[in-house]
Amino acid sequence: MQPPRERLVVTGRAGWMGMGRGAGRSALGFWPTLAFLLCSFPAATSPCKILKCNSEFWSATSGSHAPASDDTPEFCAALRSYALCTRRTARTCRGDLAYHSAVHGIEDLMSQHNCSKDGPTSQPRLRTLPPAGDSQERSDSPEICHYEKSFHKHSAAPNYTHCGLFGDPHLRTFTDRFQTCKVQGAWPLIDNNYLNVQVTNTPVLPGSAATATSKLTIIFKNFQECVDQKVYQAEMDELPAAFVDGSKNGGDKHGANSLKITEKVSGQHVEIQAKYIGTTIVVRQVGRYLTFAVRMPEEVVNAVEDWDSQGLYLCLRGCPLNQQIDFQAFHTNTEGTGAHRLAAASPAPTAPETFPYETAVAKCKEKLPVEDLYYQACVFDLLTTGDVNFTLAAYYALEDVKMLHSNKDKLHLYERTRDLPGRAAAGLPLAPQPLLGALILLLALLPVFC
């Protein structure tokens, strides 16, 4: 049964989250969760243009172009244009979180404003810069919107932790465990009281067990007087420098500037600062695939209401035991061997054109002179994928550790974490079947939107 409408409130500057002036309460809470469920069955990456539709609607209904509260015809025209844009991109957006949320949001808003489906449409306008004093320019955010300032009042400086995911894919958890995992499909990296992060991993090559991250979704939850709920989504060949609603900060609240997106390198490197929770997130596209790194206070990491439901929180718990690959054993077995012997040693089918072991070692040594786990991960990825870009993925992952990790003595790790067989007996789940995993994710994310 659908939850009561009065509880389904999604806030935000525009787009499918609180769209337009006078939009009021919108019954969208259930639909983003449903879209997440659909994302648990990932399809091949497609040229979905929903971000463009969101941005055009936002530009038409915000700032100096925003229709007055009683100007329903103009707002309805903007909604019809938005709906037309989504229909044009429908074929390429199946299963996309932002797309399904936008479609159902448009239906809800058209019903609220008694808009007919037939009628004139509005032309998209270019976004204008906010005037001085706008929330995007404020520097006088409330103290509660600056984590360290509010933290220092009552205790010592916070202890920061780091989690990262890169390559085929290799996971470094908040507790500095280092694992190589299969985790094909959609998996939650972070799921706490402040934000959710989900990644989708797809096969690097048809028929290969080697996977890499092709899609990333981050949900920043509504927080007091600081930020509205915001969603960031990146995928292969699309690394936007804005949230899905086209904005670059936390919305209309007084402390909105405590959440910001900065584009470091166009199409390759984005940094998100969430000062209200003391968190920094780095998202990169290296070659065709994405990497993720985060710096987060322990207090925020552990802000979980129900620990029993956190078995899929990969950054905290690590990968399920039967999703882990012992790449160090693979590395040892392949030392001194040529490409012809790799198929027998590899836990996954090798790429048709893999590197000889000596070549892989030489390429990784160029970027990673210290023979730590990042170096070993680099060699593993070159041998299993044949894609030289995985060398850069390992290199940048280590660079992000240097920037984000609070303990400089733990930058390099040398021994892979080996979980005991009793892991499952301790109550941690093994790899979920697709349907079960989707249902667990649905239940875990439902509070985000309600």
pLDDT digits (tens, 9 = 90+) for 380-419: 999 988 899 999 999 999 999 999 998 888 899 887 655 4
Q: How far apart are CA 366 and CA 433, in angstroms?
A: 40
Contact 11, 251 (CB under 8 A): yes
> 303-333, pLDDT tens digit by residue?
887 666 555 689 998 998 888 887 656 555 5
* Three-state SS at 286: strand
Q: What is the pLDDT of residue 119?
A: 77
Half-sphere exposure in the Cβ direction for 222 (13 Å, CA)? 16
Q: C-alpha 248: how far from its chain's center? A: 16
DSSP string, 64-95: GGPPPTT-HHHHHHHHHHHHHHHHHTGGG-TT
Q: Is the pLDDT of residue 89 over 90?
A: no
Please state, in angstroms and rounded to a whole number, the distance separating the CA atoms of residues 74 and 295.
44
Instruction: Report the pLDDT averaged over residues 163-173.
Output: 95
Kindly report the average pLDDT of the chain as a whole number: 74
pLDDT of residue 201 exceeding 90? yes
Position 364 scores a pLDDT of: 96
229-284 per-position pLDDT tens digit:
999 999 999 999 999 999 999 988 888 999 999 999 999 999 999 999 999 999 99
Tokens of 243: 């949230």
Answer with the residue of higher pLDDT: 298 or 97: 298
The pLDDT of residue 122 is: 64
Under DSSP, is residue 59 helix (H, G, I), strand (E, B) or coil?
helix
Residue 92 pLDDT level (bands cut at 50, 70, 90):
confident
Higher pLDDT, 143 or 288: 288
Percent of the chain with pLDDT over 70: 66
- Give the mean model confidence (pLDDT) for residues 212-237: 94
Say whether pTM exceeds 0.75.
Answer: no
- The fold of the 143-323 domain, in CATH, is Protein Transport Mog1p; Chain A (3.40.1000)
- Positive/negative CA dihedral, 292, 298, 303, 304: positive
Confidence of residue 213 (pLDDT cuts 50, 70, 90): very high
23-30 mean pLDDT: 36
d(CA 362, CA 355): 10
316 to each of 80, 175, 192, 322, how far by Cα in Å?
43, 7, 10, 17
Across the chain, how many H-helices and E-strands are there? Answer: 13, 12
From 294, 245, 261, select the one nearest 82 (Cα to Cα): 245
